[in-house]
A and B are shown apart, each in its own frame.
Chain A
Amino acid sequence: MTTKQEERHKYLDLCIPYAFGRLNPGNRKQFEAHLASGCKVCKAELARLNEALGLFPLTLKQERPDQRVKEQLLARIASAKRTPGPAQEQPRRALKKEAPVTMATGPVVTTQRPWFGYAIAGVALLIIVALGIYTNDLITTLDTQEQKIVALQTELAQRDEMLKILQSQRIEMVLMNGLEPSPSGYGKIIWDPVKKTAIFQVAQLPTVPEDKEYQLWVIRKGEKIPAGLFAVRSEQEKESYFKIMNLNVESKKDFEAFAVTLEPKGGSPQPTSPIYLLGTTSLN
């Protein structure tokens, strides 16, 4: 995957938290800059999300507020309309009036004042810029720390889930081997047939573009049943990718194999690519 694609993927992931108003200031600023840069993909995704989320409150029982609320609103608008707009000129005039009187003649005073004012303004501007840079650095640091915390929390939660599966009274395991499109690939599935949760791990599968995902299949009596989706997006994930997933299978006796294929994002009802990984229950 190219760096540009990774960037775009990263921003797409931010759409949901952004739509829910839950991006931290650093990420929000970055995402809004990205939107402002004109990314049509993210704008379209955000528009679709907003449309979808906008429907959620329709499940609430609708209720018209008291008529008084509307009357007050219209009164507030009417009064806002009457409020005169430009009031910013007054402070400037006040500054002129408060110009200090010196012993020097008029023209000299008028040439010294602007210089002093510009110097003060320049220093103030430098301070503001320095503070801005410092604040930005702080936000970036906080952002990084927050991401690390979330990553650690996720990892910890995943380890807990793994431990729970491994501690189950009964577990089953199937090893998967790479076939032609990915001969060096391998993986394993360890699952609790009672709780139907599984540890799914694969390695050495090629990274996939944004519009593709790997799909896991359970092959039962020759029928291929979709069992989950995953995507290997980075070199790190290529080294080893794992996830905790729900897996609706019981004993190994009930089906013949697990298979992994590469499908369009969102999955397919039936496989459309060759098998990348295959794990037959008879060999495990």
Chain B
Amino acid sequence: MWLLALLVQRTEQNKQDADLLKRIQRQDQQALALLYDRYAPVLYPLALRIVATGEEAEEILQEVFLQVWEKASIYTPDRGSVYSWIIAMCRNRAIDQLRSKGHKKKSRETGLEESHSVLHTATDSDPHDIVVMKGYAESVRAALKTLSRLEVKILELSYYEGYSQSEIAKMLKMPLGTVKTKMRKGIQKLRQVVGKDEV
């Protein structure tokens, strides 16, 4: 029932997002401002997690919404929700920034030693925190806590650091097949939260 309630809430949110995007296509700035207010609290920490400074994260955030403004018409719902489209744009832009400035080398040298995975150290959210998609945030944390530290690390290296599966295999000195399996397991956990996983 709880998952069903989440899905209903998400469906409603997707509909609202799609409406906002239609208004953005008609050059409605107010709609863009609403979309920004809705998702900036997730996108900003995402960009900040990937790049080095707050200034860069702010710039990425602006670039992402400029892209939404300019490319709202090319969005197609068959590739995912508006939320996942914007998140993917933000993540890709931040990873591009990371690669272009050679930050990757720095994180390769130090990142592996840090095992402060947010998933394993994060405590429950402060009730006063802004929480976009609160139900999902909690269930994603809960689902990913069932993964091993290594499995979470592989997901993080791929998602936040931009490493390929073969690069991760090399770094962690394990077979590529094992990395793929562990990554699939992590993605499967996320899929279960979405509630569409068929496996």
Residues of A bordering B, CB below 8 Å: 16-17, 19-22, 43-44, 46-66, 69-70, 72-74, 76-78, 80-81, 150, 153-154, 157-158, 161, 243-244, 265-266
Q: Kindly state whether residue B107 has any CB partner on chain A within 8 Å.
A: no
Instruction: Give 11 A-B contacts (CB < 8 Å), ordered by A residue.
Output: A22-B162, A50-B80, A54-B80, A55-B136, A59-B137, A60-B45, A60-B118, A61-B118, A63-B41, A69-B40, A244-B178
Q: A53-B190, A60-B118, A62-B132 are in contact. Are A47 and B66 (CB under 8 A)?
A: no
Residues of A contacting B174 in the complex (Cβ-Cβ under 8 angstroms): 157
A-B contact count (CB 8 A): 183
Residues of B contacting A43 in the complex (Cβ-Cβ under 8 angstroms): 78-79
Residues of A contacting B84 in the complex (Cβ-Cβ under 8 angstroms): 47, 50-51, 53-54
A246 to B163, CA, bound (A): 24
Residue of B nearest to A20 (CB): B158
A161 to B169, CA, bound (A): 13
Residues of B contacting A70 in the complex (Cβ-Cβ under 8 angstroms): 33, 36-37, 40
Binary interface encoding of chain B residues 42-72 relative to chain A, with 1 for a CB under 8 A from any of its CBs, else 0: 1111101100000001100110011001100
Contact B32 A59 (CB under 8 A): no
Contact B44 A58 (CB under 8 A): no
Q: Kindly state whether residue B187 has any CB partner on chain A within 8 Å.
A: yes
A65 to B48, CA, bound (A): 10
Residue of B nearest to A69 (CB): B58
Residues of A contacting B199 in the complex (Cβ-Cβ under 8 angstroms): 265-266
Shortest CB–CB separation between residue A162 and chain B, in angstroms? 10
A58 to B32, CA, bound (A): 21
Contact B79 A46 (CB under 8 A): yes
Q: A17-B165, A157-B175 are in contact. Are A53 and B187 (CB under 8 A)?
A: yes
Residue of A nearest to B33 (CB): A74
